[in-house]
């Protein structure tokens, strides 16, 4: 019994030991709680910092980021932990993600990061409403623009045929080179102010061009030459032939110009320049040949007979002067010979006299001689006396400051010019063209009208121009127009002098503009806005309705592309800057294609014919034989550039279209904008409630600009641009316009 009890107790003890060896037996389960803090992490776009996440648990855990841009130093463990979190730089939009921590439960930590918000700028302009407002004028040379009939000379119908091209360029006006008859290819020596050059077509053709242009919202501006006429003008011919002619006072004539210079009211305030006075002929001589037995004689007067046989050198014989306005000489003839008369012992222009047509001289029959007449022929045998009657033996001069074939016009006293016959004759011709439909005039060489090349009276010129403008504007108004006529003067002076010409006329070419543009395009753009706005404010201070005409170069200057080093990026940006600047922009024929050239070999090299097709120009152009064929490759043609979206031509089209769409670009006030400086030209263009921000980076490298305005709506872009909040990054030679 005792042994049995002991045995039972031993078994119980063994069971007790067995149970005590299992730690889970009879012990309550632990309830673990997973906590994670903070609940969110916020990072900046360029955040190099490490942010911490705290995990509290007694169990195992894992942490998993939701995006590849979120990085963790440790992603698993047991028990408490501190987790380091970093992110990549965000160059895009704001973004968000999370970190999922799993243990006894799952807890999510939100992760957000601001973006740089770098947006690539894409231009999205408004639609064109069909109203042309750009005020962009295209300067074209009639003779070298477009030929319609295959004679190699540009003409009115040729221009009319290309109006679609000009319309696509967005132009609102055409400045035509002189359309009047002349004796030169460039036509600045007008021989008839009341007609058009027959090489260009008829007056009806000209009227058709005007009407067709108006149908496309394009105005026509004629080039008018007030300083001088051509030597072949009937007025000048009659003035030479007859001292009593009414046309003698249309010009400056004197036998002693150095003494008489100050007697001409238009020349007061200027000084005599001997080189600007040319020898002239005078009178209307008659030539008579009669048979004689007198001895062969010659005299010593200035008058000369030139006679020659075919294939023989000319014989020069000098007349004897009787002192009564008649001259004579005796010479011997054997067969047929040619003749002409010269007043001087040299071949100076103006000295030649001949018949008005092909004439064979008959013995005893007088022949009327005219300046620059035809050579005459005579057949005889023996001795003959040649007599000249109605001659003036004095040496006569006329003023031709530019050339002997462009005699200066005399308008009398500038203060009363409207009463002068010369002024009235020129004004009458302008009336004709204004009534035909011409919308304005470009006035050539205005600073030389009262004076010459080297000495001129700016104040007198301004007075005369006011008379001219007021007369033409009255005619324009009488023709039914409600606005004022546009008239732009070539007052090729410094800005300080040029601005005063607005006392007489409502627009002048601002020759200083291209200097400022070139400076800006060299990377020094800081002063561009203030310079241009200064030009405009100076002009409006003189005349409230002043129109500042801005341009790069014209037919008298080396080409703009040449001045810009034939750098296409700069040429494109020059176009964008010109067409986003306040004022009235002018584009010169071929500029939109990248034509280059200098005047070194002749003016023709900057007046190159348009190359419409890849195969070549439709005309070689009479008088424009000097062309650079190395430039005129197929790639520079209109045909090639129209097909190339990135061509210079399409830059002109795009930016001129913008100017037509937005009144602020066409008519707005220009003021400097934040960010302007260094290679950045930045300005606002404002008209009424419309405001645009214009920014150009003229450097050859990308530049950042701090912008305080809304950049969400770009309407114009050249090159590349991106933005991030307040920072605009412009690529090399890139430009952008924002609508605010």
Q: List, by residue number, the catalytic residues.
A: 444, 490
**Residue 371 in 3-state DSSP?**
strand
- Cα(50)–Cα(73) distance, integer angstroms: 10
Q: Where does residue 97 fall: left (phi above 0), alpha (psi -120 to 50 degrees), or beta otherwise? A: beta
Distances (CA, A) of 736 to 95, 365, 516, 696, 709: 28, 80, 20, 7, 13
Q: Are 342 and 281 in contact (CB under 8 A)?
A: no
Say which residue the tokens 């005299």 belong to. Answer: 299
User: CA of 283: how far to CAs of 248, 373, 419, 422, in Å?
Assistant: 11, 14, 27, 21
Our CA angle for 583, 589, 590, nearest 5°, is 115
Question: Which three-class secondary structure state does DSSP give residue 545?
Answer: coil
Structure tokens at 253: 């004539």
Nearest in space to 409 (alpha carbons), one of 461, 454, 372: 461
Strands laid side by side in the 277-280 sheet = 253-254, 396-399, 277-280
Q: List alpha helices for 437-527, DSSP H.
A: 458-478, 495-498, 513-521
Q: Is 671 exposed, middle or buried (0-12, 13-18, 19+ CB in 10 A)?
A: middle
Taking phi over 0 as left and psi of -120 to 50 as alpha, with beta for the rest, 309 belongs to beta
Pick the closest to residue 144 from 613, 618, 610, 553 (CA basis).
610
**DSSP-derived secondary structure letter, 565:** T
Distance CA 658, CA 359 (A): 64
| Count of helix runs (H) and strand runs (E) in the chain | 17, 39
Dihedral sign (CA 501, 507, 512, 516): positive
Find the angle CA(400)-CA(402)-CA(405) to the nearest 5 degrees: 60
Buried residues in 680-693 as b, exposed as e (16+ CB within 10 A): bbbbbbbbeeebbb
Beta strands in 141-252 (DSSP E): 173-176, 219-225
Closest CA to 711 of 729, 734, 733: 729
Give the angle 519-579-188 at the CA atoms, nearest 5°. Answer: 85
CA 457 from centre of chain: 28
The residues near 355 (Cβ < 8 Å, ≥ 6 apart) are: 367, 368, 369, 370, 373, 374, 376
**Tokens at 666, concatenated:** 């066409």
> Beta strand 507-509 with 40-43: parallel, antiparallel or unpaired?
unpaired
Distant-in-sequence, close-in-space partners of 338: CB < 8 Å, separation ≥ 6: 307, 308, 309, 310, 375, 376, 377
Distance CA 567, CA 586 (A): 20
CB crowding 211-247: b at 16 or more within 10 Å, else e: ebbeeebbbbbbbbbbbbbbbbbebbbbbbbeeeeeb
Within 10 Å of residue 127's Cβ, how many Cβ atoms? Answer: 6
């Amino acid at each position: 019994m005792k042994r049995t009890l002991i045995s039972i107790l031993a078994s119980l003890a063994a069971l007790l030991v067995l149970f005590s060896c299992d730690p889970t037996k009879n012990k309550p389960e632990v309830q673990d709680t997973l906590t994670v803090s903070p609940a969110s992490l916020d990072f900046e776009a360029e955040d190099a910092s490490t942010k911490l996440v705290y995990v509290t648990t007694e169990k195992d855990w894992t942490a998993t980021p939701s995006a590849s841009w979120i990085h963790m130093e440790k992603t698993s463990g047991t028990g408490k932990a501190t987790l380091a979190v970093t992110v990549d730089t965000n160059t895009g939009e704001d973004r968000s993600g999370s970190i999922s921590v799993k243990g006894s439960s799952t807890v999510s930590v939100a992760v957000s990061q601001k973006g740089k918000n770098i947006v690539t700028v894409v231009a999205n302009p408004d639609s064109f409403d069909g109203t042309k407002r750009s005020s962009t004028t295209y300067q074209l040379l009639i003779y070298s623009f477009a030929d319609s009939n295959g004679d190699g000379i540009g003409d009115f119908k040729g221009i009319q045929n290309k109006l679609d091209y000009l319309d696509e360029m967005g132009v609102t006006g055409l400045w035509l080179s002189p359309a009047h008859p002349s004796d030169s290819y460039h036509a600045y020596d007008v021989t008839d102010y009341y007609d058009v050059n027959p090489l260009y077509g008829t007056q009806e053709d000209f009227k058709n061009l005007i009407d067709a242009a108006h149908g496309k919202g394009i105005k026509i501006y004629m080039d008018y030459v007030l300083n001088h006429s051509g030597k072949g003008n009937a007025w000048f011919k009659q003035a030479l032939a007859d001292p009593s002619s009414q046309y003698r006072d249309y010009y400056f004539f004197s036998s002693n110009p150095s003494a008489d210079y100050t007697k001409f009211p238009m020349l007061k305030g200027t000084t005599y320049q001997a080189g600007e006075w040319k020898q002239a002929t005078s009178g209307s001589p008659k030539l008579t040949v009669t048979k004689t037995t007198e001895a062969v004689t010659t005299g010593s007067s200035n008058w000369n007979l030139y006679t020659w046989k075919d294939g023989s050198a000319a014989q020069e014989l000098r007349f004897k002067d009787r002192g009564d306005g008649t001259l004579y000489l005796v010479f011997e003839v054997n067969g047929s010979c040619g003749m002409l008369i010269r007043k001087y012992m040299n071949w100076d222009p103006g000295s030649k006299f001949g018949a008005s047509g092909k004439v064979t001289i008959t013995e005893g029959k007088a022949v009327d001689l005219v300046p620059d007449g035809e050579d005459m022929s005579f057949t005889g045998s023996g001795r003959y006396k040649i007599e000249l009657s109605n001659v003036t033996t004095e040496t006569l001069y006329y003023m031709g400051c530019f050339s002997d074939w462009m005699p200066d016009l005399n308008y009398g006293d500038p203060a009363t010019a409207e009463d002068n016959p010369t002024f009235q004759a020129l004004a009458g011709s302008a009336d004709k063209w204004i009534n035909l439909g011409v919308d304005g005039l470009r006035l050539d060489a205005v600073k030389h009208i009262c004076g010459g090349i080297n000495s001129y009276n700016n104040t007198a010129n301004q007075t005369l121009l006011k008379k001219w403008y007021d007369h033409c504007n009255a005619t324009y108004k009488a023709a039914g127009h409600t606005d004022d006529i546009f008239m732009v003067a070539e007052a090729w002076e410094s800005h300080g002098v040029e601005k005063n010409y607005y006392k007489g006329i409502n627009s002048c070419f601002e020759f200083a503009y291209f200097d400022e543009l070139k400076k800006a395009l060299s990377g020094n753009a800081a002063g561009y806005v203030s310079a241009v706005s200064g030009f405009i404010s100076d002009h409006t201070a003189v005349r409230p309705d002043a129109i500042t005409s801005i341009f790069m170069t014209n037919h008298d200057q080396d080409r703009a592309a040449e001045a810009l080093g034939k750098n296409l990026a700069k040429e494109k940006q020059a176009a964008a800057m010109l067409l986003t600047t306040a004022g009235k922009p002018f584009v010169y024929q071929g500029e939109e294609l990248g034509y280059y050239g200098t005047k070194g070999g002749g003016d023709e090299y900057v007046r190159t014919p348009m190359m419409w097709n890849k195969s070549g120009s439709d005309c070689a152009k009479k008088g424009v034989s000097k062309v650079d064929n190395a430039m005129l490759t197929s790639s520079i043609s209109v045909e090639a550039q129209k097909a190339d979206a990135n061509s210079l031509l399409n830059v002109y089209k795009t930016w001129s279209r913008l100017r037509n769409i937005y009144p602020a670009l066409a008519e707005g006030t220009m003021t400097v904008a934040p960010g302007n400086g260094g290679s950045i030209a930045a300005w606002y263009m404002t008209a009424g409630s419309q405001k645009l921000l214009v920014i150009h980076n003229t450097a050859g490298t990308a530049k950042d600009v701090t912008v305080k305005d809304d950049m969400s709506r770009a309407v114009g872009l050249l090159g590349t641009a991106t933005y991030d909040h307040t920072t605009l990054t412009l690529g090399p030679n890139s430009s952008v316009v924002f609508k605010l």
